[in-house]
Structure 1
Amino acid sequence: MSEVKGDTLTHIDAEGHARMVDVSEKAVTTREARAEAYITMLPETLAMIVDGTHKKGDVFAVARIAGIQAAKRCSDIIPLCHPLMLSSVKVELVPELDSNQVRIETICRLSGQTGVEMEALTAASAAALTLYDMCKAVDKGMVIHTVRLLEKKGGKSGHWKV
């Protein structure tokens, strides 16, 4: 979605064409974003992941790497995102046995001229998709849900939290 400044969309030029926002005049500040995603699955599937008995190996390790890689490549996936020099990407995968799901939380951080919300969201999404991919042979009914931004810090707009 385009950012709105006053009554103008910043990702749309005067002729209505899409464009990448010019951030060259923005101050370099420390910026951070947290996002989450969930994937619900059969209890047997979650147990296999937690117990480490999945035939594909350490599912959480692969999903964590996928999330980190996705954050780093966000501008290749989301057309108008700036390529960013991330200083930190964290991907936490927490099994929630009582609800047969995995909670994925990501944190992206940098010192730069634009935010890292899309990188955090992309990391959470890719980690969830990787869990699905690695487990689909045993559980095709998994559901990825509640992908959302939890918090952002830094920049002119300051601190925002759910």
Structure 2
Amino acid sequence: MRRAAAGFTLIEMMVVIVLIGVMASMVHISQGDNTARLARQEADVLLNLMHGLREKAVLEGLEFGLRLEPEAYQLMAFTQEQWQPLQPAVQLPQGVQLALTLEGQHHPLNDSAQLPHVVWLSSDENTAFDLHFDSPPVRWRSIVSDGLNDARIDDNGSLP
């Protein structure tokens, strides 16, 4: 008489291992690096904020600014003959950094002055700039302005 085998066959074990591997890879893909998506979303949020600042500057006859740091930005207003922060600095998602170009030249963002780097005037003019959202060496998105028209997204300025 043959005894009933106790345990699993080799085929059953291999099927279970393959299923666990497939499930683990699906979880890894769904929880993967979101830096690109987060950088693009933050650029969209900041662009909408810039459009609002431009309109508010003209309608209220005020000057507004944007102070930049490598990993944060802060809104400012020119009141009582000096620049005042309107809110605490907004931190960028981890791994995303800002880079600013003014007049074709890279502009360092690590200065300690509490002054804005980009300004919107009540005369409907603003600083001409290129603001880049990077995770070096990758450039995810850029916001550009010629100083006269609305700022816009420019994805053609991406680094290789």
* Alignment TM-score, normalising by the size of structure 2: 0.31
Structure number with larger C-alpha Rg: 2
* Alignment TM-score, normalising by the size of structure 1: 0.31
